[in-house]
Structure 1
Amino acid sequence: MNNQTSTQLPIPPHFNPETVGAVWRVPYQQRAAAAQAWTKQYEIKPASEDKTRICLLLIDVQNTFCIPEFELFVGGKSGNGAVDDNVRLCEFIYRNLGIITKIIPTLDTHTAMQIFHPIFWMNAAGEHPIPAGNITPADIEQRIWHVNPNVAFSLGFDYEFLEKYACHYVKQLTQNGKYPLTVWPYHSMLGGIGHALVSAVEEAIFFHCIARNSQTQFEIKGNNPLTENYSVLSPEVLEDFDSRPIAQTNKKLIQQLLNFDAVIIAGQAKSHCVAWTIDDLLTEIRQVDMKLAKKVYLLEDCTSAVVVPGVVDYTEAADRAFERFADAGMKIVKSTELISFF
């Protein structure tokens, strides 16, 4: 595959693809012992000895998006998209254990009182919006929806500021060509089971950590109450109506990714958090050196678009985004390929 290993590794016997769509406890001590034995059996070197440094960036591979009965399951066209994606992802991690230097999973992290959750908004009757709807500048101007004053109190904001900010925020999304403000169901709630990584993926990541002596690097995103944060590299809006900062880009992670010899990206959802993360990375690459795009690899069979049958289908938008990334020099690959990093 490259100068670190010429062959892929087998899948460890503990991996059961039938359990990828379920939630369960990872037996850490058993897996640690198995990983150490695996290292000896296949002479796997520690990540510190890698000559070609490869990062696997996993976007929001969490229960809330990847388990069928959870809040925002990404079913894709097949209806079972995220589960099938994660079977392939786990197998990819195990097969390429010897060459993945570091794994960086992002964790979409929310509390109830955020600008994209129902409780943040209310109408004249005191009712909250139904999830999956949009809030437009016209909705705010016509007072169809306004900020819940109890949210302002609970979060410690002046109500007039928050009202003015909310209007500014929705207009900014429109002006910047972003998705309109979507009122999402409560999801990826901090402290809840939906926030956790998919058990099978967590197990594979932990196995990699022990086998390669490479600490998993968890990246938190989405916990700012004043903005959506599809991309792990940058929130949707950075400033308030007076150009005062309310959030910032993740410059440290951007620089870290650009310093790897190769960055492999997978996760959920292809149309939202994955696409926006790649788009932000490409924006940074354009400012530095377009040749850097060639070291980004997109695992197209380990990500799915948001599809709600009869309501919305982002498949085409996601595919167009990936075509644009490929045109910029990024490589679209499958998890089963023998990928050359030269």
Structure 2
Amino acid sequence: MDTSAPQLTTPVPSPLPLPSHFDPGRVGEIWRVSYQQRALEAEQWAREYRIPPAAADRVRVGLLLIDVQNTFCIPGFELFVGGPSGLGAVEDNRRLCEFIYRNLAHITQIVATLDTHTAMQIFHPIFWVDAQGSHPEPATAISADEIRSGRWQVNPAMAANLTQGDLRRLQAYVLHYAEQLEKGGKYPLVVWPYHSMLGGIGHALVPAVEEAIFFHAIARCSQPRLELKGSNPLTENYSALSPEVLTGPEGDPIDEKNASLIHHLLEFDALIVAGQAKSHCVAWTVSDLLQEIQARDPSLAKKVYLLEDCTSPVVIPGLVDFSEQAEAAFARFAAAGMRRVRSTEPLWSWPDFPRPL
């Protein structure tokens, strides 16, 4: 067997075929990835198609996957993103896996974010009580006025866990927090079902996507970068780059931007973005990235490509539909110079997509 490294001068087929292990019918299911077998196959795949190590890339292409986790992407899990079709995240991830495999030789690194929570956080039911001591139902929006009136109050038991027993401090903070969300024009404070629980099955990457990431890592000798977000109990963290609120009532720091990740993403020659949900974590992550770009060099927006067919908005039939908000956000990104593309289109057909020299 020829174990020599691929020759960098040999053209790589584009797009590549799909490997035989990929089963599009199982993208919406939970199963164990056979790492050792996939590693052997990935190395053979690289030899067969003469795929060079990522370190040899003259054009560095990053693929940012936002919260492609079971909790959002598997039907029946806590916050499954069904989108308009009802199977949005499953359909998105099927196309995403195919995109990764077909463009394996041109993706330098995959960066995946992981929404990460524990029980006692500001957006979980246990954090809040009404006058009768009952917790809010998931999808309840809590306004600053409702906190002032006492309609919703901090569960006193939270203080021992989060503010060393200082309930008054915690009460002052939550009012400040809700006010900051409203002043900043962000989504109101929403009580979500317990989801993406650290250590739980919902927190894990979708197996089909995890397998594709692993296959890419071995075939291209490229370590994926996994970024945890959302573990701070006192703030939401829709964006992978920054929490919703950074400071407390006295200007004291609550959390900070992920400066390291921002810098890393902007170092790529092209950055491709996909994930869930289009209306929430994808929209806010891209919005924060655009803010950073506009502060540095607005022309950098042109190197960001949004995979429109690999992301879906939050739609709960009869309750909420964030499709319009998602479309408005993506229209704003495009107006700033970012590119709206589809995974089924060849990379070289995308506007101004950089080619190797």
The reply to whether TM is greater than 0.5 is yes
Counterpart of 1:106 in structure 2 is 113
- Pairwise CA distance, 1:37: 0.6
Deviations 1:233-291 (A, max 9, x none): 00000000000100000111111111110000000000000000000000000011111
Q: Return 5+ residue gaps in structure 2 as ranges.
A: 1-9
Tell me the distance in 2 between the aligned counterparts of 1:140 and 1:156: 18
Tell me the distance in 2 between the aligned counterparts of 1:163 and 1:156: 10
Alignment of 1:10-21 (within 5 A): 10-21=17-28
Tell me the distance in 2 between the aligned counterparts of 1:133 and 1:146: 13
- Pairwise CA distance, 1:155: 2.8
- Pairwise CA distance, 1:297: 0.2
- Aligned-partner residue type, residue 16 of structure 1: D
- Pairwise CA distance, 1:324: 0.8
Tell me the distance in 2 between the aligned counterparts of 1:252 and 1:31: 31
Counterpart of 2:291 in structure 1 is 283
Is 2:38 aligned against 1:31?
yes
- Aligned-partner residue type, residue 88 of structure 1: R
- Pairwise CA distance, 1:44: 0.6
Alignment of 1:265-304 (within 5 A): 265-304=273-312
- Pairwise CA distance, 1:123: 1.2
- Say which is worse superposed, 263-272 or 145-154, in terms of deviation: 145-154
- Aligned-partner residue type, residue 243 of structure 2: P
Q: 2:160 aligns with which of 139, 150, 153?
A: 153
Contact map agreement 1:4 1:50 (CA 8 A) in 2: no
Tell me the distance in 2 between the aligned counterparts of 1:205 and 1:76: 24
Is 2:49 aligned against 1:45?
no
Counterpart of 2:61 in structure 1 is 54
Is 2:208 aligned against 1:200?
yes
Tell me the distance in 2 between the aligned counterparts of 1:81 and 1:122: 34
SS at match of 2:187: coil
Over 3 Å counting, the alpha-carbon distance change for 1:330 and 1:4 in structure 2 is farther
Contact map agreement 1:4 1:51 (CA 8 A) in 2: no
Counterpart of 1:263 in structure 2 is 271
Tell me the distance in 2 between the aligned counterparts of 1:200 and 1:52: 27
Contact map agreement 2:163 2:170 (CA 8 A) in 1: no
Tell me the distance in 1 between the aligned counterparts of 2:322 and 2:334: 19
- Aligned-partner residue type, residue 112 of structure 2: P
Identity of aligned residues (%): 64
Is 2:67 aligned against 1:72?
no
Counterpart of 1:233 in structure 2 is 241
TM-score (norm 1): 0.98
Counterpart of 2:7 in structure 1 is none
Deviations 1:131-186 (A, max 9, x none): 10100011111101111111111234321111100010001000000000000000
Over 3 Å counting, the alpha-carbon distance change for 1:91 and 1:163 in structure 2 is same
Q: CA RMSD in A?
A: 1.1
- Aligned-partner residue type, residue 71 of structure 1: E
- Aligned-partner residue type, residue 21 of structure 1: G
Contact map agreement 1:169 1:240 (CA 8 A) in 2: yes
Tell me the distance in 1 between the aligned counterparts of 2:132 and 2:146: 15
Q: Which runs of 4+ in 1 moved over 4 A?
A: 3-6
Contact map agreement 1:169 1:237 (CA 8 A) in 2: yes
Tell me the distance in 1 between the aligned counterparts of 2:144 and 2:92: 37
Tell me the distance in 1 between the aligned counterparts of 2:13 and 2:219: 18
Count how many residue pairs are aligned between Structure 1 and Structure 2. Answer: 340
- Pairwise CA distance, 1:7: 1.6
Q: 2:228 aligns with which of 220, 226, 232?
A: 220
Is 2:210 aligned against 1:187?
no
Counterpart of 1:176 in structure 2 is 184
Tell me the distance in 2 between the aligned counterparts of 1:5 and 1:256: 26
Counterpart of 2:5 in structure 1 is none
Counterpart of 2:6 in structure 1 is none
Contact map agreement 2:163 2:169 (CA 8 A) in 1: no
TM-score (norm 2): 0.94
- Pairwise CA distance, 1:6: 5.9
Counterpart of 1:115 in structure 2 is 122
- Say which is worse superposed, 109-118 or 332-341, in terms of deviation: 332-341
Contact map agreement 1:61 1:267 (CA 8 A) in 2: yes
Contact map agreement 1:4 1:52 (CA 8 A) in 2: no
